[in-house]
């Protein structure tokens, strides 16, 4: 029943590109990559409007900004650069998905946020946050299977998984919990949504990879 927690590899399905770094990626890979990143972006937007806690990496950016006096945007940018530098020893290969991830998420957030409902009741806010985390997990699984290059943090996850050979859920949760702890030590603000994200995003990504493999392998 919990077999998905032992997932160690990104499955190869019909939309998987043969190579992450290619000038002419398969059209189906690009289309489904965009679909996955769009779901990811909607999940991020829901987490933002829920207002019950930002993502662990935003907590880290808040803490770094509080400690150094720089802006949250600058702290986020520097954190992304550091993560990308970690790709080299981890032998991660970027692709158009790496660029699309950064561009589409930013644009989609700006477009989606004004149209999403906001609630006063805490339980509705919590439901929004949970739905957001689920969509981030599903979107991540779909776009990573496309094999056109991960986003910075997903690349850190896949790289560390290959080095440690631990299940993907364990690696991702370890990253998120480490990041949120460091952010909190630096003065970042935690919320219920932050804790839920840190504890569940790894299992959700693994769960959807497992389900997608099971479903499409039978077609």
- Which of the residue ranges 45-49, 171-175, 205-209, 212-216 would you say has the lowest mean pLDDT? 45-49
Mean pLDDT of the region 135-146: 97
Query: How large a percentage of the chain has pLDDT more than 70?
Result: 100
> What's the pLDDT score for residue 213?
96
Mean pLDDT value across the chain: 92
Rounded Cα distance between 38 and 91, Å, is 27
> What's the pLDDT score for residue 100?
87
> What's the pLDDT score for residue 157?
96
Q: pTM higher than 0.85, yes or no?
A: yes
Measure Cα distances from 169 to 111, 147, 149 in Å: 31, 19, 19
Residues 6+ apart with CB under 8 A from 103: none
Q: Which two tokens stand for residue 210?
A: 């497992």
Q: Would the CA dihedral through 174, 212, 37, 99 be positive or negative?
A: positive
């Amino acid at each position: 029943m919990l077999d998905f927690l032992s997932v160690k590899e990104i499955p190869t399905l019909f939309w998987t590109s043969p190579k992450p770094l290619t000038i002419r990626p398969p059209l189906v890979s690009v289309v489904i990559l965009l679909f996955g990143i769009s779901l990811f972006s909607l999940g991020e937007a829901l987490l933002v409007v829920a207002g019950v806690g930002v993502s662990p990496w935003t907590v880290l950016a808040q803490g770094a900004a509080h400690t150094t006096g720089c802006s949250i945007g600058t702290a986020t940018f520097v954190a992304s650069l550091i993560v990308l530098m970690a790709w080299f020893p981890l032998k991660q290969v970027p692709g158009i998905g790496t660029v699309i991830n950064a561009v589409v998420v930013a644009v989609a957030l700006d477009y989606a946020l004004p149209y999403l409902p906001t609630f006063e009741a805490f339980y509705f806010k919590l439901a929004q946050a949970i739905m957001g985390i689920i969509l981030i997990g599903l979107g991540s699984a779909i776009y990573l299977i496309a094999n056109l290059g991960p986003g910075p943090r997903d690349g850190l996850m896949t790289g560390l998984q290959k080095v440690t050979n631990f299940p993907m859920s364990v690696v991702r949760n370890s990253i998120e919990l480490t990041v949120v702890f460091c952010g909190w030590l630096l003065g970042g603000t935690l919320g219920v949504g932050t804790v839920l994200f840190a504890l569940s995003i790894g299992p959700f990504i693994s769960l959807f990879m497992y389900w997608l493999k099971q479903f499409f392998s039978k077609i």
